[in-house]
Amino acid sequence: MKYEVKICGLTRREDVEAAVEAGADYVGFVLADFSPRHVTPEQLAVLTRDLPKRVKKVGVFVNAAKEFIFSTVKTGGLDVVQLHGEESAEFARSLRGLTVWKAAHLTSLADVDFYASYPAERIVADAEAGGSGELSSWELAAELAGRKRVMLAGGISPGNAAEALRKVNPAGLDLASGVEESAGIKSKEKIVQLFQNIKGAVS
């Protein structure tokens, strides 16, 4: 099975190129000014210029105004809008014409039910959430992955990526800090190691 990979929180062109060269399917950029990985729409346009068509560009927004989302999609040539705040299903539906992903903090089976019906093409499941129910967060993510396309995020690294794929069977993995030297500064070596480990797990 082919698992997709998103490298998120990119702030430098050299890191974007390293992710693309290693085989990333998605490159992610944070458009929230409180984040240490924040980029502006203008920086986004430079970071995403002339990327191969196979690589999709994801913008991460946190409780952003609809107008800002649409204008940033245009400026940065985004393929996917990832909602990472408390955005309602109604808000997601209002983003007509856009491919929407929604970040989810899974703590219970009720959360799984809620996000299984959320109007998003994928759910980015935070696997690092402390479980408050009987199931661990990976078990909850696996439950959701049986009902909706899931990108597994939160604490994923080259060291546990293969195990995460086996246990959750998501559509793909979403990494930020797991392949970083520091916030927003990626490690090419860790990115390469990630793809080697995934290839070894599924071959």
- Among residues 8, 15, 25, 111, the one annotated as catalytic is 8
> Domain range for residue 154?
4-202
Sort strands 180-182 and 172-175 into parallel, antiparallel or unpaired: unpaired
- Torsion sign over Cα 132, 162, 61, 10: positive
Among 52-56, 126-130, 170-174, the least confident range: 126-130
| Overall domain count for the chain | 1
With a cut of 80, say whether residue 89 has pLDDT above it: yes
Burial class (CB in 10 A: 0-12, 13-18, 19+), 47: buried
With a cut of 60, say whether residue 128 has pLDDT above it: no
Task: Check if 79 is active-site.
Answer: no
Ramachandran quadrant class, 119 (left: phi over 0; alpha: psi -120 to 50; beta: rest):
beta
Q: How far apart are alpha carbons 51 and 32 in whole angstroms?
A: 23
Looking up tokens 């992710």, which residue turns up?
Answer: 19
Task: Check if 25 is active-site.
Answer: no
Q: Provide the whole-model pTM.
A: 0.94
Confirm if 165 and 138 have CB atoms less than 8 A apart: no
Q: How far apart are alpha carbons 32 and 35 in whole angstroms?
A: 6
For residues 191 and 134, which has the higher predicted lDDT (pLDDT)? 191
Cα–Cα nearest to 151, from 128, 122, 108 = 122
The distance in angstroms from the start CA to the end CA of the chain is: 9
pLDDT at 203 (0 to 100): 60
Mean pLDDT value across residues 108-133: 83
- Split at pLDDT 50, 70, 90, the class of 1 is low
- Split at pLDDT 50, 70, 90, the class of 139 is very high
Task: Return the CATH number at 42.
Answer: 3.20.20.70
Q: Which residues have CB under 8 Å from 194's CB, separation 6+?
A: 5, 22, 157, 158, 161, 175, 178, 179
pLDDT digits (tens, 9 = 90+) for 12-30: 999 999 999 999 999 999 9
pLDDT at 127 (0 to 100): 58
- Split at pLDDT 50, 70, 90, the class of 133 is very low
pLDDT at 126 (0 to 100): 81
pLDDT digits (tens, 9 = 90+) for 26-84: 999 999 999 999 999 999 999 999 999 999 999 999 999 999 999 999 999 999 999 99
pLDDT at 200 (0 to 100): 75
Confirm if 39 and 31 have CB atoms less than 8 A apart: yes
Q: Percent of the chain beyond pLDDT 70?
A: 94
- Among residues 15, 25, 111, 126, the one annotated as catalytic is 126
